[in-house]
Amino acid sequence: MMSINSDSMLDHAPSSPLRLRPQAALKIDKSERTRVAILNAALDFIWSRPFRDMTVRSLMTATGVGRSAFYQYFTDRHDLMQTMLRIVQKEIFEGVSPWLVGVGDPVVLLHQTLGGLVRICYERGPFIRAISDASRTDKRFEEDWRQFLEGFDEAGFARIEADQRQGLIPDFDARPVVFALNRLNAYTIIEAFGQHPRREPEPVWEALARIWVSTLYGAEWLGKESSSLIRK
Protein backbone atom coordinates (compact mmCIF):
# COMPACT_ATOMS: atom_id res chain seq x y z
CA MET A 1 0.00 0.00 0.00
CA MET A 2 2.18 2.81 1.22
CA SER A 3 5.60 2.92 2.74
CA ILE A 4 5.97 2.55 6.49
CA ASN A 5 7.48 5.92 7.13
CA SER A 6 5.91 8.60 5.06
CA ASP A 7 8.88 10.91 5.20
CA SER A 8 11.81 9.25 3.48
CA MET A 9 11.49 7.61 0.15
CA LEU A 10 13.64 4.74 -0.89
CA ASP A 11 14.55 5.96 -4.34
CA HIS A 12 17.18 8.49 -5.36
CA ALA A 13 15.86 11.51 -3.48
CA PRO A 14 18.73 13.22 -1.64
CA SER A 15 17.43 14.97 1.42
CA SER A 16 18.07 18.67 1.62
CA PRO A 17 19.94 20.30 4.51
CA LEU A 18 16.80 22.20 5.40
CA ARG A 19 13.96 20.02 6.61
CA LEU A 20 11.11 20.77 8.92
CA ARG A 21 9.94 18.94 12.00
CA PRO A 22 6.20 18.94 12.61
CA GLN A 23 5.16 22.02 14.57
CA ALA A 24 3.94 21.61 18.12
CA ALA A 25 5.88 18.66 19.45
CA LEU A 26 3.01 16.64 20.83
CA LYS A 27 -0.14 17.83 19.11
CA ILE A 28 0.79 16.24 15.79
CA ASP A 29 -2.46 15.89 14.00
CA LYS A 30 -2.44 14.21 10.65
CA SER A 31 -2.97 17.46 8.88
CA GLU A 32 0.20 19.06 10.13
CA ARG A 33 2.21 15.95 9.41
CA THR A 34 1.09 15.81 5.80
CA ARG A 35 1.68 19.49 5.32
CA VAL A 36 5.22 19.17 6.58
CA ALA A 37 5.77 16.06 4.49
CA ILE A 38 4.83 17.98 1.36
CA LEU A 39 7.05 20.87 2.33
CA ASN A 40 9.95 18.53 2.95
CA ALA A 41 9.35 16.80 -0.36
CA ALA A 42 9.58 20.19 -2.03
CA LEU A 43 12.72 21.10 -0.11
CA ASP A 44 14.34 17.82 -1.07
CA PHE A 45 13.29 18.18 -4.66
CA ILE A 46 14.52 21.72 -5.04
CA TRP A 47 17.82 20.95 -3.42
CA SER A 48 18.84 18.93 -6.43
CA ARG A 49 16.50 19.75 -9.29
CA PRO A 50 15.22 22.92 -10.96
CA PHE A 51 11.89 24.45 -10.11
CA ARG A 52 10.61 23.95 -13.64
CA ASP A 53 10.66 20.18 -13.11
CA MET A 54 8.78 20.28 -9.83
CA THR A 55 5.26 19.08 -10.60
CA VAL A 56 2.57 18.47 -8.04
CA ARG A 57 2.68 14.81 -9.00
CA SER A 58 6.42 14.49 -8.37
CA LEU A 59 5.98 16.00 -4.92
CA MET A 60 3.04 13.90 -3.86
CA THR A 61 4.59 10.72 -5.17
CA ALA A 62 7.55 11.38 -2.90
CA THR A 63 5.13 12.04 -0.07
CA GLY A 64 3.17 8.83 -0.55
CA VAL A 65 -0.16 10.67 -0.52
CA GLY A 66 -2.44 11.06 -3.51
CA ARG A 67 -1.86 13.98 -5.79
CA SER A 68 -5.15 15.72 -5.13
CA ALA A 69 -4.45 15.93 -1.41
CA PHE A 70 -1.89 18.56 -2.30
CA TYR A 71 -4.64 21.09 -2.88
CA GLN A 72 -5.87 20.71 0.69
CA TYR A 73 -2.65 22.35 1.85
CA PHE A 74 -1.58 24.67 -0.92
CA THR A 75 -3.52 26.33 -3.66
CA ASP A 76 -0.74 25.62 -6.15
CA ARG A 77 3.02 25.24 -6.53
CA HIS A 78 3.56 28.92 -6.09
CA ASP A 79 1.69 29.03 -2.84
CA LEU A 80 4.11 26.41 -1.63
CA MET A 81 7.06 28.45 -2.85
CA GLN A 82 5.69 31.36 -0.87
CA THR A 83 6.09 29.26 2.24
CA MET A 84 9.63 28.42 1.22
CA LEU A 85 10.31 32.11 0.71
CA ARG A 86 9.13 32.92 4.21
CA ILE A 87 11.46 30.33 5.70
CA VAL A 88 14.50 31.54 3.79
CA GLN A 89 13.59 35.18 4.26
CA LYS A 90 13.68 34.84 8.00
CA GLU A 91 17.16 33.34 7.93
CA ILE A 92 18.46 36.00 5.59
CA PHE A 93 17.03 38.93 7.50
CA GLU A 94 18.74 37.69 10.60
CA GLY A 95 22.12 37.28 8.95
CA VAL A 96 21.91 40.62 7.26
CA SER A 97 20.98 42.82 10.20
CA PRO A 98 24.38 44.16 11.38
CA TRP A 99 24.92 46.89 8.81
CA LEU A 100 21.24 47.68 8.58
CA VAL A 101 20.51 48.22 12.24
CA GLY A 102 23.79 47.86 14.16
CA VAL A 103 26.03 50.49 15.67
CA GLY A 104 29.78 50.78 15.22
CA ASP A 105 32.18 51.14 12.31
CA PRO A 106 29.93 50.94 9.23
CA VAL A 107 32.62 49.35 7.10
CA VAL A 108 33.10 46.58 9.62
CA LEU A 109 29.35 46.11 9.87
CA LEU A 110 28.99 46.03 6.11
CA HIS A 111 31.63 43.33 5.87
CA GLN A 112 29.82 41.35 8.50
CA THR A 113 26.49 41.74 6.80
CA LEU A 114 27.79 40.64 3.44
CA GLY A 115 29.58 37.75 5.09
CA GLY A 116 26.39 36.63 6.75
CA LEU A 117 24.44 37.01 3.54
CA VAL A 118 26.93 34.99 1.56
CA ARG A 119 27.15 32.27 4.17
CA ILE A 120 23.40 31.79 4.43
CA CYS A 121 22.79 32.02 0.72
CA TYR A 122 25.57 29.57 0.04
CA GLU A 123 23.82 27.11 2.32
CA ARG A 124 20.40 27.79 0.83
CA GLY A 125 21.42 28.59 -2.73
CA PRO A 126 19.19 26.18 -4.62
CA PHE A 127 16.14 27.24 -2.62
CA ILE A 128 16.73 30.88 -3.37
CA ARG A 129 17.20 30.15 -7.01
CA ALA A 130 13.98 28.16 -7.10
CA ILE A 131 12.12 30.99 -5.40
CA SER A 132 13.44 33.45 -7.93
CA ASP A 133 12.59 31.12 -10.80
CA ALA A 134 9.09 30.60 -9.46
CA SER A 135 8.53 34.32 -9.38
CA ARG A 136 8.84 34.34 -13.17
CA THR A 137 5.95 32.00 -13.76
CA ASP A 138 3.27 33.37 -11.48
CA LYS A 139 1.84 36.85 -11.23
CA ARG A 140 1.07 36.74 -7.53
CA PHE A 141 4.34 35.22 -6.48
CA GLU A 142 6.22 37.66 -8.67
CA GLU A 143 4.78 40.35 -6.45
CA ASP A 144 5.98 38.54 -3.31
CA TRP A 145 9.48 38.33 -4.67
CA ARG A 146 9.40 42.00 -5.61
CA GLN A 147 8.41 42.93 -2.10
CA PHE A 148 11.11 40.72 -0.68
CA LEU A 149 13.74 42.59 -2.64
CA GLU A 150 12.16 45.94 -1.89
CA GLY A 151 12.58 45.23 1.78
CA PHE A 152 16.32 45.40 1.25
CA ASP A 153 15.95 48.54 -0.82
CA GLU A 154 14.13 50.35 1.96
CA ALA A 155 16.48 49.27 4.70
CA GLY A 156 19.61 49.94 2.66
CA PHE A 157 18.33 53.31 1.57
CA ALA A 158 17.72 54.35 5.15
CA ARG A 159 21.19 53.28 6.19
CA ILE A 160 22.90 55.04 3.31
CA GLU A 161 21.02 58.28 3.84
CA ALA A 162 21.92 58.19 7.51
CA ASP A 163 25.60 57.73 6.69
CA GLN A 164 25.38 60.44 4.07
CA ARG A 165 24.08 62.88 6.68
CA GLN A 166 27.11 62.00 8.77
CA GLY A 167 29.43 62.59 5.85
CA LEU A 168 30.53 58.96 5.77
CA ILE A 169 29.14 58.37 2.32
CA PRO A 170 29.33 60.87 -0.53
CA ASP A 171 26.21 62.74 -1.37
CA PHE A 172 24.70 60.97 -4.36
CA ASP A 173 21.16 59.89 -5.21
CA ALA A 174 20.96 56.85 -2.97
CA ARG A 175 17.80 55.20 -4.34
CA PRO A 176 19.06 53.92 -7.67
CA VAL A 177 22.42 52.97 -6.22
CA VAL A 178 20.96 50.83 -3.47
CA PHE A 179 18.53 49.34 -5.96
CA ALA A 180 21.43 48.33 -8.17
CA LEU A 181 23.57 47.05 -5.30
CA ASN A 182 20.75 44.87 -4.05
CA ARG A 183 20.23 43.33 -7.49
CA LEU A 184 23.97 42.80 -7.52
CA ASN A 185 23.73 40.77 -4.34
CA ALA A 186 20.61 38.85 -5.18
CA TYR A 187 21.55 37.68 -8.62
CA THR A 188 25.23 37.21 -8.06
CA ILE A 189 24.27 34.90 -5.25
CA ILE A 190 21.60 33.12 -7.24
CA GLU A 191 23.92 32.45 -10.13
CA ALA A 192 26.89 31.56 -7.97
CA PHE A 193 25.13 29.34 -5.45
CA GLY A 194 21.86 28.46 -7.11
CA GLN A 195 22.80 25.13 -8.54
CA HIS A 196 25.29 22.42 -7.93
CA PRO A 197 28.17 22.60 -8.14
CA ARG A 198 28.11 25.88 -6.27
CA ARG A 199 31.02 28.31 -6.44
CA GLU A 200 33.25 28.91 -3.48
CA PRO A 201 31.72 31.44 -1.10
CA GLU A 202 34.90 33.33 -0.18
CA PRO A 203 35.69 34.90 -3.55
CA VAL A 204 32.07 35.89 -3.96
CA TRP A 205 32.07 37.50 -0.54
CA GLU A 206 35.27 39.38 -1.30
CA ALA A 207 33.93 40.62 -4.61
CA LEU A 208 30.68 41.87 -3.12
CA ALA A 209 32.47 43.50 -0.23
CA ARG A 210 34.87 45.22 -2.59
CA ILE A 211 32.06 46.59 -4.71
CA TRP A 212 29.91 47.79 -1.80
CA VAL A 213 32.77 49.33 0.14
CA SER A 214 34.32 51.02 -2.87
CA THR A 215 31.01 52.45 -3.92
CA LEU A 216 29.82 53.66 -0.54
CA TYR A 217 32.77 54.36 1.72
CA GLY A 218 35.68 54.48 -0.71
CA ALA A 219 38.40 52.04 -1.63
CA GLU A 220 40.71 53.27 1.12
CA TRP A 221 38.63 51.25 3.61
CA LEU A 222 39.09 48.02 1.73
CA GLY A 223 41.92 46.59 3.78
CA LYS A 224 40.04 47.15 7.01
CA GLU A 225 38.33 44.19 8.50
CA SER A 226 39.19 41.84 5.71
CA SER A 227 39.62 39.51 8.64
CA SER A 228 36.16 38.42 9.74
CA LEU A 229 35.86 35.47 7.40
CA ILE A 230 32.66 33.62 7.03
CA ARG A 231 32.23 32.23 10.47
CA LYS A 232 30.23 29.27 11.56
Residue 224 binds to its own copies (criterion: CB under 8 A): no
Residue 177 binds to its own copies (criterion: CB under 8 A): yes
Is 13 in contact with 62 (CB distance < 8 Å)? yes
* Minimum CB distance to DNA smaller for 20 or for 229: 20
**Least distance in angstroms from the C-beta of 223 to DNA:** 51
Neighbours of 212 (CB within 10 A): 20
Q: Which residues contact 2 (CB under 8 A, 6 or more apart)?
A: 64
Q: Which of 16, 18, 34, 124 binds DNA (CB under 7 A)?
A: 34
**Least distance in angstroms from the C-beta of 153 to its own copies:** 10
Q: How far apart are CA 122 and CA 195, in angstroms?
A: 10
* Minimum CB distance to its own copies smaller for 33 or for 210: 210
Q: How far apart are CA 25 and CA 174, in angstroms?
A: 47
* Minimum CB distance to its own copies smaller for 139 or for 232: 139
Residue 68 binds to DNA (criterion: CB under 7 A): yes
Q: Which of 4, 176, 227, 231 binds its own copies (CB under 8 A)?
A: 176
Q: How far apart are CA 173 and CA 50, in angstroms?
A: 38
The footprint of DNA on residues 144-203 (CB under 7 A) is none
Q: Which of 9, 13, 56, 168 binds DNA (CB under 7 A)?
A: 56
Q: How far apart are CA 162 and CA 69, in angstroms?
A: 51
| Count of residues that bind DNA according to CB under 7 A | 18
Is 141 in contact with 82 (CB distance < 8 Å)? yes
20 binds, among DNA, its own copies, none (CB under 5 to 8 A by kind): none
* Minimum CB distance to its own copies smaller for 36 or for 186: 186
Q: How far apart are CA 194 and CA 44, in angstroms?
A: 14
Q: How far apart are CA 92 and CA 116, in angstroms?
A: 8
Q: Footprint of DNA on this chain (CB under 7 A)?
A: 2, 29-31, 34, 55-57, 65-69, 71-72, 75-77
